[in-house]
Amino acid sequence: MTDKPFGVPFMLSYDLSLIPLMVDLLIDERVPVVLDNGLLDENIYQKFKTAGTKIICRLPNPNLADALKAQKLGADILVLTGFDEGGTLPMKEVGSFSVLAEFVGKVDLPIMLAGGIADKKAVQAALTLGAEGIWVGTAFIATKECRASVKVKQWIVDSTANDLFLFRTEPYYYRSLPTELAKQCFQMSESGASRADIAKVMNAGTGMRLGMLEGDFENGYVSVGNGIGAINRIKSVQEMIDELMS
């Protein structure tokens, strides 16, 4: 499909028993870069290091202890996520503007900032705040090539961060475009429902597939970040990246 370098996350589902199989597969296939979503497992890091695979570590809850552990285990890049991202959010409400301050100068790894980066200004701000790279999600959803429903892409173009709904769920918070399901979860969250009860209503994998791939805004949710205010039309991936890096 491509002769360009690419990376693969080794945690593809919440079924952790698949991870050893994925690790061996990625090494066998000589995938050059892998993503650790914060498992920080010493044996897995050792296997990848031995194979010469580069490891990007993205901490679900950015904190200095885990960052230093990633460094010690041999991660090559650290991704720190601010509370401006979409979907499943960190426990602490530390925005992309503030999340790096605690790490810059204390961690000896290149840092990528994630959360709300969808235009050139945001890229430049991330670098100003101390990031050496950026991690982009939502801006890829609004591209021509993305498998998301065209209804989702258009809704992103037509919306701003003020339109999004944030609600409590497992493990902490979730941010979605205001689908009927997201509104229901928000109302439950406001009324003091438990995180477990809200998570049941979200219907995790299914709710995401319905909302994002099928454009079913009754029964699904649509995970996008606070950067959507800067997304004003559906572009090709090439155009989008060219604009971000211009």
List residues near its own copies by CB under 8 A.
Answer: 62-64, 82-84, 92-99, 101-102, 115-116, 118-119, 121-122, 124-125, 128-130, 160-162, 164, 166, 175, 191-194, 225-227, 229-230
Considering beta carbons, is residue 20 or 178 the nearer one to its own copies? 178
Considering beta carbons, is residue 96 or 143 the nearer one to its own copies? 96
Q: How far is the CB of 41 from its own copies (least distance, A)?
A: 23
Q: How far is the CB of 125 from its own copies (least distance, A)?
A: 4
How deeply is 185 buried, as exposed, middle or buried, from its count of CB atoms within 10 A (0-12, 13-18, 19+)?
A: buried
Q: How far is the CB of 178 from its own copies (least distance, A)?
A: 12
Q: How far is the CB of 33 from its own copies (least distance, A)?
A: 26
Q: In sequence order, what are the beta bridge partners of 111?
A: 78
Considering beta carbons, is residue 57 or 134 the nearer one to its own copies? 134
Considering beta carbons, is residue 37 or 63 the nearer one to its own copies? 63
Considering beta carbons, is residue 211 or 225 the nearer one to its own copies? 225
Considering beta carbons, is residue 48 or 221 the nearer one to its own copies? 221
Three-class DSSP labels, the chain: CCCCCCEEECCCCCCHHHHHHHHHHHHHCCCCEEEECCCCCHHHHHHHHHHCCEEEEECCCCCHHHHHHHHHHCCCEEEEECCCCCEEECCCCCCCCCCCCCCCCCCCCCEEEECCCCCHHHHHHHHHCCCCEEECCHHHHCECCCCCCHHHHHHHHHCCHHHCEEEECCCCEEEECCCHHHHHHHHHHHCCCCHHHHHHHHCHHHHHHHHHHCCCCCCCCCCCCHHHHHCCCCECHHHHHHHHCC
Considering beta carbons, is residue 124 or 238 the nearer one to its own copies? 124
Q: How far is the CB of 231 from its own copies (least distance, A)?
A: 9
Q: How far is the CB of 200 from its own copies (least distance, A)?
A: 16
Q: How far is the CB of 61 from its own copies (least distance, A)?
A: 9
Structure tokens at 28: 């066998």
Reference 98, options 72, 67, 124, 130; nearest CA is 130
